[in-house]
Structure 1
Amino acid sequence: MDTSITFASLGLAEPLLRAVHDAGYTHPTPIQAQAIPRVLEGGDLLAAAQTGTGKTAGFTLPILHYLIQNPATSRQPGRPRVLVLTPTRELTAQVEESVRLYGRHTQIRSMVMFGGVNINPQITALRKPLDILVATPGRLLDHAQQKTLDLSGVEILVLDEADRMLDMGFIHDIRRVLRLLPAKRQNLLFSATFSDEIRGLAQGILHNPGEVSVARRNTTSELVSQRMVMTEQSHKRDLLSHIIRESGWHQVLVFTRTKHGANRLAEKLAKDGLTAAAIHGNKSQAARTKALAGFKDGKVAVLVATDIAARGLDIDQLPQVVNFELPNVPEDYVHRIGRTGRAGSTGSALSLVDQTEIKLLRAIERLTKQTIEPIVVEGWNPAAMVTGDSAPDAREKRALARLQGDLPAGRGGRRDAGTGREGHRPGQRDGQRPASAERRTGQDPRRGNARPQGARSGRDTGATSSGAPRRDTRPRTGQSSALLHKAD
């Protein structure tokens, strides 16, 4: 970071500099230092920046500056001057929160709009003057169809996390939105990558754009330590519970492939006395907001999430991320562990890997050009949990030896039927029920019913079960480093 560049040197309006100072920031991040002057110039922009780089302020600050310097002669109800499109509810809410944070000393009015909630309060809100609208494509089109929203006055369009919008099948919705906008406008497109698909989208939207890029494609932060534990699929839930309790982790984000798997895991951890909540696309927005708020303020120690639900989560200094299951798409691994090690803070990413996931592990290592360090967990003995035997579990020792090349690969285990994208298919909108892959439990069918006692299939509690014994999840000094050891 160039410490010679300050927010004041970027020429931002005084009310914005005051808000930035109030938030505790002095120097812009690289993406902010590059993007803010380009946006202030008024031209179109194609920017590559991964989540956690400060990209949201990279467009909200110059947009607010533009609105301050160019006040509307008359603001009309339901007719925004700025439209920000995002792929998920959480990211939509967080972008609008950023607008409120930096616009706190101005009269600029913003609004958030997404599906999964009652549309009537949004209709009521649109009856008031509006400057900035942050929305997901599906709900935006619902309002346009009902004629409760007028997009003819949009002067600036932002597509945030455009790569994820393409992945989620929003391309047709985006094109429908574009047809509702005036031809003359400023366009800003932010993406984690400059893939061929993104450049193709940009060609149809942007006009002679400037380009900024602050991160190479598919790289992981050097501030994040990456480790993995070889284990059996049927042992993963107990192993995760053991690690969290014995390490004293008080804030950990855990990724699963499926919504049903997220529910079951949260229930299992709650049964073990941990405060846990699940967050995914089938949750109501109120439940998702409550779970995320509890996680941020420390009331919830473990947040279990699917890839789509966690996209855009902005949690300051998140120390731990766990891949309960490896994603089927290697790029999603980069996004997952990017939740930690942000804003200069260190973080840790731990993956629980069974032998059927070794191919996925190798694909991730090829993509990131890094080897994920295998470790063993001190005091972990799944056999003793059932038999009282103190001997290490032989199957897990064989799996680790096979990973390290000491044993030949055996016959392949079950084939994973997951989609790796929370069951989404192209064209699926917020709140739509996914494909049948969501019914998969993640258990090996040859092992019979491996569901932990007390886990309730299909029920979505998302929080600690009533009556579950509470255990102290506060950090214990030195405990984490003593628990996890490098594999010999």
Structure 2
Amino acid sequence: MLFTDLGLSEPILRAIAEEGYTSPTPIQAKSIPAVLKGGDLLAAAQTGTGKTAGFTLPILQRLTSTKPSSGKRLLRVLILTPTRELAAQVQESVVTYGKYTGLKSTVIFGGVGANPQIKAIASGLDILVATPGRLLDLMSQNCVSLNDIEILVLDEADRMLDMGFLRDIKKILAALPKKRQNLLFSATFSTEIKALADGLLNAPELIEVARSNSANEAIAQLIHPVDRTKKHPLLAHLIQSNDWKQVLVFTRTKHGANKLVTQLEKDGITSMAIHGNKSQSARTKALADFKAGKLTALVATDIAARGIDIDQLPHVVNYDLPNVSEDYVHRIGRTGRAGSNGVAVSLVCVDEHQMLRDIEKLIKQKLPQEVIAGFEPDPNAVAQPIQLRSQQHQQSRKPRPAGSGGVPAKKAPAKRSSPPKRSFNR
């Protein structure tokens, strides 16, 4: 199947072609026709399957094919996302594929000044991408009206519920017109997601692609057993001996991310951390530098990394295994995209053996293990409670200097390498 078979207009197809893509991914092939029909949609798809374009492309098509009766530009589409990074990625997709449509969009989120966002909304929009907190803030100031919304998208709805946004979502829903199209995207069809869908969606079409407990076959997964005190030296050894140029590293805590960056920098490995305690300007700069190849390692926590979308990312390292097994699949799904191969390495100490067993049970496979010479784990090591060690870290922390804050410059995405012609994952 080709994008030309999906009923998209020439301006949209031209933008897709300029990005080097010809064929849709499975989620796009299913969701684009469903959204164009105008009905509600409930879709289960992980990050990296192409779900963002799965809703942005048909939304752009619908807006260009139907104009407001008043002839004025009206805010007709609201896309809600759980994190600032994902909101920025969605906005980038809207801009990229809507550049020949004449449609206007903007993104709003917390952590930066609100005035530029207020001005952008006041100038007139067709599409608004937002995180719930900042949207409610601007609604309370009467800076944004949702009276003309025709399409609502809840992206990564499972993560929004995990982050405690349910009450905010309900407040936003109450301000929307009752007659509208609702699109709900989630990595899983959990009980909580089904309950939200039951109250929100009207006879939705159901789409499920790449179940949440399956790992991409294009990703080579490997476990390196190691003592907890040797994780940092092992990571530095892997990066330097293998000449890794770009690696996304996951830690369990913000403190752990900061500490690891300091250690890697002393080893001569350019690194930055991205987590909730960083100012938005710092997070934006870290992600942009990583995409541009200015950083070798981007160290992230799970929440901050949600929505990171990097074409052909070669390496992901689980410095710490995640507390929630499903997050392992989300993490390693950052690599092995769009037909390219990827490597996911996990550094596992004795404290994490049960976590590893839980992950292997979830993905229904035994992960290969390789002990690296010089980093052999102590066979007599005794496991320590991970939560206890995390609390000790928090108690021993010194006050962190305030971030620089401020409003970042308008995002200028780094030029990406040419993607494969067959499909794309945005």
Which digits, 9 at most, give the CA deviation of each residue in 1:151-203, with x for residues without a partner? 11100000001111111111111111100100000000011111121111100
Whole-angstrom CA distance in 2 between matches of 1:201 and 1:227: 37
Distance change in 2, residues 1:460/1:325 (3 Å): farther
* Deviation of the 1:104 alpha carbon: 0.7
Q: What is the DSSP-based 3-state SS (H/G/I as helix, E as strand, rest coil) of the residue aligned with 1:441? A: helix
Whole-angstrom CA distance in 1 between matches of 2:288 and 2:368: 33
Equivalent AA in structure 1 for residue 80 of structure 2? L
Match of 1:293 in 2: 288
**Alignment size in residue pairs:** 404
Q: What is the DSSP-based 3-state SS (H/G/I as helix, E as strand, rest coil) of the residue aligned with 2:122? A: coil
Could you tell me whether the CA contact under 8 Å between 2:317 and 2:344 is conserved in 1?
A: yes
* Deviation of the 1:457 alpha carbon: 7.9
Aligned pairs for 1:275-286 within 5 A: 275-286=270-281
Match of 1:417 in 2: 387
1:54 aligns with 2:50: yes
Whole-angstrom CA distance in 2 between matches of 1:25 and 1:344: 12
Match of 1:90 in 2: 85
Identity of matched residues, %? 58
Q: What is the DSSP-based 3-state SS (H/G/I as helix, E as strand, rest coil) of the residue aligned with 2:42? A: strand
Match of 2:133 in 1: 138
* Deviation of the 1:438 alpha carbon: 6.8
1:398 aligns with 2:387: no
* Deviation of the 1:441 alpha carbon: 3.2
Whole-angstrom CA distance in 1 between matches of 2:72 and 2:346: 51
Moved over 6 A (4+): none
Aligned pairs for 1:86-485 within 5 A: 86-378=81-373, 380-381=374-375, 396-398=377-379, 413-417=383-387, 440-441=392-393, 458=400
Whole-angstrom CA distance in 2 between matches of 1:146 and 1:369: 50
Match of 1:12 in 2: 8
Could you tell me whether the CA contact under 8 Å between 2:278 and 2:403 is conserved in 1?
A: no
Could you tell me whether the CA contact under 8 Å between 2:212 and 2:326 is conserved in 1?
A: no
Structure whose CA Rg is larger: 1
Could you tell me whether the CA contact under 8 Å between 1:221 and 1:338 is conserved in 2?
A: yes
Equivalent AA in structure 1 for residue 224 of structure 2? V
Distance change in 2, residues 1:460/1:227 (3 Å): farther
Which digits, 9 at most, give the CA deviation of each residue in 1:248-286, with x for residues without a partner? 101000000111111110111011101101001111111
Whole-angstrom CA distance in 2 between matches of 1:93 and 1:438: 31
Could you tell me whether the CA contact under 8 Å between 2:212 and 2:329 is conserved in 1?
A: no
Could you tell me whether the CA contact under 8 Å between 1:75 and 1:130 is conserved in 2?
A: no
Moved more, 230-239 or 145-154: 230-239
Unaligned runs of 5+ in 1: 382-392, 400-409, 419-436, 463-488
Which digits, 9 at most, give the CA deviation of each residue in 1:41-89, with x for residues without a partner? 0000001111111111110011000110012244768x52100000110
Could you tell me whether the CA contact under 8 Å between 2:223 and 2:370 is conserved in 1?
A: yes
Which digits, 9 at most, give the CA deviation of each residue in 1:321-370, with x for residues without a partner? 10111111111111111111111111111111110110111111111111
Match of 2:67 in 1: 71
Distance change in 2, residues 1:150/1:457 (3 Å): closer
* Deviation of the 1:461 alpha carbon: 9.3
Could you tell me whether the CA contact under 8 Å between 1:260 and 1:439 is conserved in 2?
A: no
Could you tell me whether the CA contact under 8 Å between 1:76 and 1:129 is conserved in 2?
A: no
Equivalent AA in structure 2 for residue 441 of structure 1? H
Could you tell me whether the CA contact under 8 Å between 1:321 and 1:337 is conserved in 2?
A: yes
Equivalent AA in structure 2 for residue 230 of structure 1? P
Distance change in 2, residues 1:197/1:182 (3 Å): same
Q: 2:38 aligns with which of 32, 36, 42?
A: 42
Could you tell me whether the CA contact under 8 Å between 1:112 and 1:133 is conserved in 2?
A: yes
What's the RMSD between the two structures over aligned residues?
A: 2.1
Whole-angstrom CA distance in 2 between matches of 1:133 and 1:191: 20
TM-score (norm 1): 0.79
Match of 1:431 in 2: none
Could you tell me whether the CA contact under 8 Å between 1:317 and 1:340 is conserved in 2?
A: yes
Equivalent AA in structure 1 for residue 387 of structure 2? A
TM-score (norm 2): 0.91
More contact order relative to length (CA 8 Å, sep ≥ 6): 2
* Deviation of the 1:241 alpha carbon: 1.0
Equivalent AA in structure 1 for residue 50 of structure 2? G
* Deviation of the 1:458 alpha carbon: 3.9
